[in-house]
A and B are shown apart, each in its own frame.
Chain A
């Protein structure tokens, strides 16, 4: 709070550790992009988020709602990323898994993309669940996440574990998720090579 007690203490933007902020934001963008972009794309997204944050033409930072600068920048980056993904409707070329999908896709390419994405997501969750079966804590974290409880502090309370342990479990979950992503990407490349 500010000395007057009215709202949060003003932040001096000149004194923020910007190299650390931009690095964390870039890694965040890398994780959000996954196989959809490179490190350069991630750095570009981080730059765009910071640009929007500083540009007075955009909405100002409501520190009552979001007191943490990095979390606020992460939200801006998500907005930038979602807008960019909406603009780029990438055509995915690979055969569909179900006959129903094949029938629909023949008539409607947008539906084809939707069905592929849905099939991929369902498969990713299946693979992820299989990979973490033997790690009770990670499995519990995943279940909480899928149930909409995504704050690590809340997860720690629910699981009655120290938050540091929960963060470690989340890290293991993220590693498994990355492995699943790589597996699916490799399979998709293999299929494309067979087609070509």
Chain B
């Protein structure tokens, strides 16, 4: 912006901002920065410490949020690829996979609640849905277990 297009207020605001920026450079020594904080009634060491703790906390939160997002994305990808896999399985293969999943300890006691009838009596479509649900449930249980372990650590 040229000088003519600015009001006095804008010029002054720009001047204030420009002069204030010097404190963000080596033009002000650490001692001078501390003195400015003391002059305003603050404790430079305590203020610096609070800031460092805030950053530590924020960086930790960022790391955790990245991990959560990655887990979610992995779960979504896994679910999509599982569904694609299931479409290619024959009735025999589906029955075998369900039998395998039933042996998974984390799913014991839960599998029975899916359907009242036996897998052998279900249609191929129902078998696919059952296996997909079992896999998803298994993934969720595993993720929860891992979270519980990492919390304990």
Contacts and interface: CB of A to CB of B under 8 A. Distances in A.
A and B physically associate: yes
Interface of A: 13-14, 16, 18-28, 30-32, 34, 38-39, 42-43, 46-47, 50-51, 54-56, 68, 70-71, 73-74, 78, 117-118, 120-122, 124-125, 142, 145-148, 150, 152, 167, 170-171, 173-174, 177
Nearest to B9: A121
Given A19-B52, A55-B58, 6 more contacts: A18-B55, A22-B48, A38-B40, A125-B11, A145-B14, A146-B11
A55 B8 CA distance: 36
B11 A56 contact: no
Interface in B27-81: 27-28, 30, 33-34, 36-37, 40-42, 44-45, 47-52, 54-55, 58-59, 62, 65-66
Contacts of A25: 24, 51
A145 B15 CA distance: 6
Interface residues of B, number: 46
Contacts of B20: 28, 31-32, 74, 174
The prevalent SS among residues of B at the interface is helix
A45 B40 CA distance: 16
Interface of B: 1-3, 7-9, 11-25, 27-28, 30, 33-34, 36-37, 40-42, 44-45, 47-52, 54-55, 58-59, 62, 65-66
A124 B12 contact: yes
Given A55-B62, A121-B11, A50 B24 contact: no
A16 B52 CA distance: 10
B51 A47 contact: yes
Given A30-B40, A150-B14, A171-B22, A22 B3 contact: no
A17 B7 CA distance: 39
A26 B62 CA distance: 23
Contacts of B18: 145, 150
A38 B37 CA distance: 11
A19 B31 CA distance: 13
Contacts of A18: 48, 51-52, 55
A145 B6 CA distance: 13
B55 A54 contact: yes
A22 B23 contact: no
Nearest to B55: A18
A14 B57 CA distance: 11
B21 A50 contact: no
A173 to B, nearest CB: 6
Nearest to A145: B15
A173 B45 CA distance: 28
A96 to B, nearest CB: 15
- Shortest 5 CB-CB distances between A and B: which pairs? A22-B51, A19-B48, A31-B20, A121-B9, A150-B18
B48 A23 contact: yes
A55 B65 CA distance: 10
A118 B1 contact: no
